[in-house]
Structure 1
Amino acid sequence: MTAALQTLPRATWRQRLLRLMPWHRRLAVLACLGVFCWAASGMLHPLMGYLQPRAQTMAAPQQVVPLDDLRSPAQVLSAAAIERVQALRLLVLAGEPYYQARLPGELQPRYWHARSGEAVDLTAAHAESLARHYLGSEESLTYGGSLGHFSSEYAFINRLLPVARVDTRREDGLRLYVDLFHDRLGTLVDQRKAWFSAFFQTLHSFRWLDAAGPLRPLLMALLLASILSATLFGIALFVARRRARSFSRRLHGWWGLGLAAATLSFASSGAWHLLHKQTAEPWPAAYAASFEVALLDQAPSADWLLRGEQLFGLSLLELDGKPVWRAQGQQFGMMPTLHYLDAAGRELDSDSARRHARQRLEHYAAALGLGEMQSLELQAQFDHEYGFVFKRLPVFKATYADAKNTALYIDPLDGALASRVQDVDRREGWAFAYLHKWEFLAGLGNGYKHLMLGLVALSHVLLALVGLSLLRRSAR
């Protein structure tokens, strides 16, 4: 009996590979769900970029702040029984100077006239004024309230919080989200963008499963694994088969082989991106400044200005444990200025900006256990590591010699942590940029790059349809 068994021919490598056919078919059915969701929404993504409503300008408004006959912040806020504030600045609305204060636990800022000391409800007027500036029009607008968290419409990619929503009366339902504390634009959304974004988040990010907790990433990981496995099994079957029985099968085989590199590129980088987001370390708690109003007993005046300077903004920061003013303006009508003053209006040294950044960075570095800072530099442009997705510019970049080669980015406007980048983020970011978004095609221009990606995504959808058709025939 043993001798007889030994004389049976052993299965060849081709036969072993052909045994993968049932698994290829089973996994392909599951993979098709992922292909239809991700390829269809992937084709939509470039269209979303082209149809994105545009602002007339991205620069924050600049108005000359009058410094005559102002009251001190202590005079104004003490009368309102306010002892401490988290942030304070002097700004101009409708040609009048106002103190804008941020109080603990409040999303909306509070306003007082800097000359009369009268409390004024200017939240709506301020938000609408910013919206008109960014739209470049004087159309009728409506304040739609403040937002303290990200939502399906105002997503995390917009970064800035809290923001105020302003609605236009246009037929497309255009609305703007603006940062009232720094006069920045969060984003613009019209009905078309809202619909596309909802569709994209449903199909590409599976946001409809957010309430299911870990089920969402598990389902996405399962679909990505099925795509990778079905693709690899398909390559093995193509190699093992000398010639398919029908033209449809030969077409499916050659088509799948031609797309295999792109499929593996998209699916593997997508899986890495998903895993990276699930395992990312949480950011440290944001630094919250607190200023004692009684210390701000000096009213801003023309004596605080540099020679020939016009002031555009005056905001309060914490430096060396004390309140200091950050003054931004223009000298002789052409040269931008940025300098720091103590609470009494005395000029501070030119290193104040870097010292402020260092002190805010110390807070975040201590929370992350990073040790001593290795370098600190001002970054005024986006690059491959600190990309456009992070929104804030300019920023201070600090590097550390920890095991993960961490870099922290600080917004000098408020000391907020704009980004934290480590080696694993750099590797994943490179893979996602070049294997998922195909940034190697950027030299052709965004139009051609998006056209290529769209055609490849469409090819995946058609390949999946052909595969399902063949599966149906086999079942019959």
Structure 2
Amino acid sequence: MIRKNIYKWHRISSLIIAIPVLLWAISGLMHPLMTTIKPQMATQSLALQPIDSAALETPLPRALEQNKITHFHTMRLVQIDNNWFYQVQLKNGDPPVYLSTKNGKSLRNGDKLYAQYIAKQFLQGQPQPPAEAQDEHAGHDMKEESSSHDCCDAATTCVLADTSGALVESVELVTGFNKEYKYVNRLLPVYKVQFDREDGIRVYVETMQDRFAYAVDNKRAGFDRFFALCHTWDWLSATGRFKYLLMGLITGLGFLTTIMGLYIFFITKTKKGKQPLARTRRTHRIVSLIACAFTLMFTFSGGLHALEKLKTPDPIADNLSNEIPASAVTLNYSRLQAEIPFAVCDLSITRIDSALYWRAVTKNKKVEYLHAAHYTILPNGEEQHALSLATTFSGHAARDVVKMERITKFAGEYGFVNKRLPVWKLSYASNNNERYYVETSTGKCAAQVTDKDLFEGYSFALLHKHHFMDWAGKSARDISTMIAAGLQVIMVLVGLFLFYRWIKRKRS
């Protein structure tokens, strides 16, 4: 029964999946090119600059009171050229306001200006620090100039009048994922900064962490649109879960078709002959045999990945605001710096349980936590902060943590797709050995993973994206992917040609 109908079943199922597989294979063939042909950035991380304590002329409480701010989520010190600002985020996820450390004035459109300022540095490189005064007279002139200097006007002029390199064409706040800035980029909210260049480059930045999020030019955008059309089928996104169900069914049928093809190969012999049809059949058999391992890998991992999308994960409440009273915060910077032996390059305030702490990052990237009131250093402060965050996100008690470690690079289950570094990994014995990855600089949950998730995650990484070739480097992995996808294209095209000849012969 099976042997009698296997050819017919294989032919019918092959016809059903031919076009989808061809689309997936061609776009998969181009994917390594997409990851290689991307806009060139001068840097993807900004060098830390020491905070200028002399610039903190207006105390933080006075600046907050002056701008009628009674509560806020967090605060950082940031710099635009030589001008320093309190970057104050009122609620978690909202664009921050920028208050001058010189006079407490609010910088108009401050977050947009800062987005332009750092986006240009990512694209063109950071400016050199200004040269110091050469003599007493120069220093005196600078001091006199500083006394009448309005840092808000200066910062605005610095950004808007900067004619070096590419000019900024537009700046747009992005609060949700869209066709260009997709979910794979993870970070929100961000600013899209478009530059006036022939390639139409757009740089996405996260201002609360001075973080590069994504860059795309017209060429890369074209690749992305093609991939979205042919591989991820974004044109079906409006159908919701149906898209993933359909993709799961087609990949499942593709897996079954490959099994049937293997069965046919082993129960039949290759026919000899010099006729074009015989040669085409031999080509199809040989290519299909070589390609079948990759076909099984692609269809299995792709189908599993699509079906995994049918699940609706429970949201993690990492968007709660700290609600820090303005009256509860003072900043004695000289006292804070006296407790830390190295220059502080990043300073923010956060809450650990019910207490407030200054989070200071030094020039050598060491993180210290100091009590907001009496400036004593909290021993293992970052570990305690990570533990507090994980306790909030997981609902587990702190004593339930079985292992805790700092992650400084993407590897294994915490891959590049998660975007945030450094993070802390906290492991629990319950709920399939769940792990939480938390980012202390933002208070965000970067990822939640259980043993159940590993099977799908590793199958997609190893079988679909060919990360089993990581040992040989990215180029070798890309070549492996392209060979595998290319074989799928040849296999389908030869198969379609055989079907065309079969139809033609039947009609004659």
Query: Does TM-score exceed 0.5, indicating one fold?
Result: yes
Give unmatched runs, 5+ long, in structure 1: 1-14
Deviation readout 1:432-457 (Å, 9 max, x if unpaired): 22211222223333223312321221
Deviation, 1:300, is: 3.5
Question: Alignment partner of 1:364: what SS?
Answer: helix
1:81 and 1:106, CA in 2 relative to 1: closer, same or farther beyond 3 A?
farther
From 168, 171, 176, the equivalent of 1:141 is: 168
Deviation readout 1:197-255 (Å, 9 max, x if unpaired): 11111111111111111221122122212211221111222222234483322322232
Number of matched pairs: 457
From 111, 123, 139, the equivalent of 2:98 is: 111
1:154 and 1:242, CA in 2 relative to 1: closer, same or farther beyond 3 A?
same
Match of 2:12 in 1: 26
1:442 corresponds to 2:455: no
1:96 corresponds to 2:99: no
From 296, 302, 317, the equivalent of 1:264 is: 296
Match of 1:86 in 2: 73
Question: Alignment partner of 1:326: what SS?
Answer: strand
User: What is the CA–CA distance in structure 1 between the aligned matches of 2:389 and 2:437, rounded to whole Å?
Assistant: 10
> Are 2:190 and 2:205, in contact at CA under 8 Å, matched by a contact in 1?
yes
Where do residues 319-398 of structure 1 align in structure 2 (5 Å cutoff)? 319-330=352-363, 335-344=364-373, 346-366=375-395, 372-398=400-426
From 109, 113, 135, the equivalent of 1:125 is: 113
Percent sequence identity is 29
> Are 2:73 and 2:92, in contact at CA under 8 Å, matched by a contact in 1?
no
> Are 2:348 and 2:359, in contact at CA under 8 Å, matched by a contact in 1?
yes
User: What is the CA–CA distance in structure 2 between the aligned matches of 1:271 and 1:371, rounded to whole Å?
Assistant: 39
Mean alpha-carbon deviation: is it higher for 241-250 or for 206-215? Answer: 241-250
Match of 2:36 in 1: 50
1:418 corresponds to 2:446: yes
Mean alpha-carbon deviation: is it higher for 160-169 or for 52-61? Answer: 52-61
Deviation, 1:322, is: 2.5
User: What is the CA–CA distance in structure 2 between the aligned matches of 1:458 and 1:441, rounded to whole Å?
Assistant: 17
One-letter amino acid of the structure 2 residue matched with residue 135 of structure 1: L
1:71 corresponds to 2:103: no
TM-score, structure 1 normalization: 0.90
Deviation readout 1:102-161 (Å, 9 max, x if unpaired): 123874221111221111122232111111221235422244111111112111221111
Deviation, 1:337, is: 3.8
Match of 2:197 in 1: 170
> Are 1:71 and 1:117, in contact at CA under 8 Å, matched by a contact in 2?
yes
Match of 1:38 in 2: 24
Deviation readout 1:154-188 (Å, 9 max, x if unpaired): 11221111101111111101110000011000011
User: What is the CA–CA distance in structure 1 between the aligned matches of 2:366 and 2:464, rounded to whole Å?
Assistant: 42
1:237 and 1:467, CA in 2 relative to 1: closer, same or farther beyond 3 A?
same
1:72 and 1:432, CA in 2 relative to 1: closer, same or farther beyond 3 A?
same
One-letter amino acid of the structure 2 residue matched with residue 210 of structure 1: S
One-letter amino acid of the structure 2 residue matched with residue 214 of structure 1: R
User: What is the CA–CA distance in structure 1 between the aligned matches of 2:464 and 2:399, rounded to whole Å?
Assistant: 35
Question: Alignment partner of 1:317: what SS?
Answer: strand
1:294 corresponds to 2:326: yes
Root-mean-square deviation (CA, aligned residues, Å) is 2.1
Deviation, 1:101, is: 1.4
Question: Alignment partner of 1:120: what SS?
Answer: coil
One-letter amino acid of the structure 2 residue matched with residue 253 of structure 1: R
Deviation, 1:311, is: 2.3
Match of 1:12 in 2: none
Question: Alignment partner of 1:119: what SS?
Answer: coil
1:371 and 1:280, CA in 2 relative to 1: closer, same or farther beyond 3 A?
farther
Match of 1:158 in 2: 185
User: What is the CA–CA distance in structure 2 between the aligned matches of 1:63 and 1:173, rounded to whole Å?
Assistant: 30
1:106 and 1:414, CA in 2 relative to 1: closer, same or farther beyond 3 A?
closer
> Are 1:176 and 1:188, in contact at CA under 8 Å, matched by a contact in 2?
yes
Deviation readout 1:247-285 (Å, 9 max, x if unpaired): 322322232122111111111111111122322633322
Match of 1:62 in 2: 48
Match of 2:206 in 1: 179
1:252 and 1:369, CA in 2 relative to 1: closer, same or farther beyond 3 A?
farther
TM-score, structure 2 normalization: 0.85
1:294 and 1:444, CA in 2 relative to 1: closer, same or farther beyond 3 A?
closer
> Are 1:375 and 1:399, in contact at CA under 8 Å, matched by a contact in 2?
yes
User: What is the CA–CA distance in structure 2 between the aligned matches of 1:217 and 1:198, rounded to whole Å?
Assistant: 19
> Are 1:107 and 1:147, in contact at CA under 8 Å, matched by a contact in 2?
no
One-letter amino acid of the structure 2 residue matched with residue 66 of structure 1: D
Deviation readout 1:394-434 (Å, 9 max, x if unpaired): 11110000141111100010120011111122222221222
> Are 1:18 and 1:241, in contact at CA under 8 Å, matched by a contact in 2?
no
Where do residues 220-299 of structure 1 align in structure 2 (5 Å cutoff)? 220-244=247-271, 246-279=278-311, 281-299=313-331
> Are 2:75 and 2:87, in contact at CA under 8 Å, matched by a contact in 1?
yes
